[in-house]
Amino acid sequence: MNEVEEFAVSLERAVNERVDREPGWMKRDAFIDIVGEYLVEDGALEDLQVCYHLSQQGRTRMEVGGYSVSDDGRILDLVAVDHPNYCQTVPRDQIRQRYRWARNFAEACQRGHHRQMEESSPEFDMAQTINHRWNDFGKIRIFLFTDGRSTLTSLEPEDLNGIPVVYELWDIERIRRLATSGRQEEPITLDLREFGTPIPCLPALGNNSDYQCLLAVIPGHLLAEIYERYGAKLLQRNVRAFLQARGKVNKGISETIRRTPERFLAYNNGISATATGVELSDGLHGREIVSLHDFQIVNGGQTTASLHHAVRRDKADLSDIQVAAKITVVEPGQLDDLVPRISRYANSQNTINEADFESNSPFHIQLERLSRSIWAPAPVGSTRQSHWYYERVRGQYDVAKSRFTTASQRKVFERENPNSQRFAKTDAARYEMTFRLQPHVVSLGAQKCFQMWTMQVLSTTEPPGEHEFRTLVAKKIFFDRARKEIQTLFPRAGYLANVTTYTIARLINDLDVNDVLAHIWRDQAPSEDLLQAVRVLCSPVRESLLKAPGSGNVTEWCKKEDCWKRVIDIPWNRGGG
């Protein structure tokens, strides 16, 4: 087998494992969930809720596998799916057909398709959300996930009742590259010829052997267009940029855009960016940047997002706006070392904390080290110990396993580091924010929850010690087991993620959490009394979540602190919990 076929086999194995853990799920749902996790961590998607829907209206078929509303409500993301194909080539007409079915669904939602659905179903929630937010959408993105191969490179953007529709194809080869890259993002190659013109630049003088620095002035409208195309993927190495500009600095930027755009260059500190390759040419005014490979904005994300929002939301004229830019070109192997230092030392408009540097921060590096060195107690009835594997960078687990040359060595690795005991940054954020009694933050989705954890908690937290690592693992054990219990009680009922985080938060509000977690780590499992408390409490919690004010949208209601205030008031019998 070649690399793609080997990856397809491992992906199918992961799909089967997830189906075993998710009663009522089809392989299709598990496939969407796994691929969606790759894209969420990559930044291509802000979040994804698996929610399969298939229906027929006359001769019109509608089919989607999941959805998300991102960019503060401006972008509707829909997922189409074609699975299973087992690495076989998928006909182009079949791909276009799947896209059309998802597009039909979006159009039906605009017309009120949710009124034909069962109100307590997740499908109703999805269709109602799309209907209610339709007028806010500035773009619709339809992603097609398939485990087949495709020779279709692109589809022309379309228009759906005045809203641009763009299509993204994720076939098995592209998924493999993303999943096994071991990087934070799929690299962006920025070809400025596609945007109209190269950018004049001034290469800094000097004999820097390990980097090249370019100074440039970028037109404001060009920066906004680049962000329109690539979105948050431009900012994957700049966590603060994800906060989307709500502080005083961003109000100042908006004020300058509106009142004195010609002074933007004087008032604004500009952006700092990195790339691993650059193509230069000789132009009328000297050297020009033609293209940049693996382009990332590491400081100035708020500036970039503010310019984009000014155009899309306020219809602002950016023709008089210029933005200063420092672009550092480095070797790929130096990115993880150099980029955090650039972010730390650059003159940014807001304070940048150590914890803002995501996977390269001391906190995450130390968490990774602890996960490799600490052996968990053997479960009851066993003498075999194992690690809880923290995957600081996507693909680490598979890369580590692939270093072993024989099947027997790989089995030993898997036995000592079970796949079921692997967790990532967004998982850790979900556990921590739940135990900090913020289930409404967890309900915002994986990326936003991680951002809130980073800014609210890690900015004032020292790197963890052994006790903190054991406590985090205990939280994971409890969270995962509670989720399984709730899913067993309400199979295919929807809102599982919301019910789980709210139930656990409500439960631990009344418990001695430190004592509970110490026992969970020691036994590597929650007590039966604790699980019984979960079973008792999850039903009234679920009922509370479903009763959104004014028969509103459940998913949106769960994101509000008022929802948590209502849940915290639920009376219940603690019993032996």
Given this model, what pLDDT does residue 230 score? 84
Strands 389-391 and 271-275: unpaired
* pLDDT tens digits along 290-342: 999 999 888 888 888 889 888 887 889 999 999 999 999 998 877 766 766 67
Given this model, what pLDDT does residue 244 score? 39
pTM to 2 decimal places: 0.72
- For residues 518 and 478, give the distance between their C-alpha atoms in angstroms, rounded to a whole number: 11
pLDDT score of 118 more than 80: yes
SS3 285: coil
- For residues 21 and 218, give the distance between their C-alpha atoms in angstroms, rounded to a whole number: 50
* pLDDT tens digits along 536-551: 999 999 999 999 998 7
Cα–Cα distances in angstroms (integers) from residue 572 to residues 324, 439, 528, in the given order? 59, 18, 17
Per-residue pLDDT, averaged over 61-75, amounts to 91
Confidence of residue 359 (pLDDT cuts 50, 70, 90): low
String of DSSP letters for 487-526: HHHSTT-S-HHHHHHHHHHHHHTTS-HHHHHHHHHHHTS-
- For residues 346 and 299, give the distance between their C-alpha atoms in angstroms, rounded to a whole number: 7
- For residues 65 and 32, give the distance between their C-alpha atoms in angstroms, rounded to a whole number: 7
Confidence of residue 358 (pLDDT cuts 50, 70, 90): low
Given this model, what pLDDT does residue 336 score? 66
* pLDDT tens digits along 387-432: 999 998 777 888 788 778 788 998 999 999 998 999 999 999 999 9
By the 8 A CB rule, do 577 and 533 touch?
yes
* pLDDT tens digits along 220-254: 999 999 988 887 678 766 544 444 333 444 677 88
Per-residue pLDDT, averaged over 96-123, amounts to 94
Query: Regarding predicted confidence, which is higher, 470 or 345?
Result: 470
Query: Regarding predicted confidence, which is higher, 552 or 237?
Result: 552
The mean-pLDDT minimum among 226-230, 250-254, 374-378, 452-456 falls in 250-254
Confidence of residue 574 (pLDDT cuts 50, 70, 90): low
Given this model, what pLDDT does residue 341 score? 67
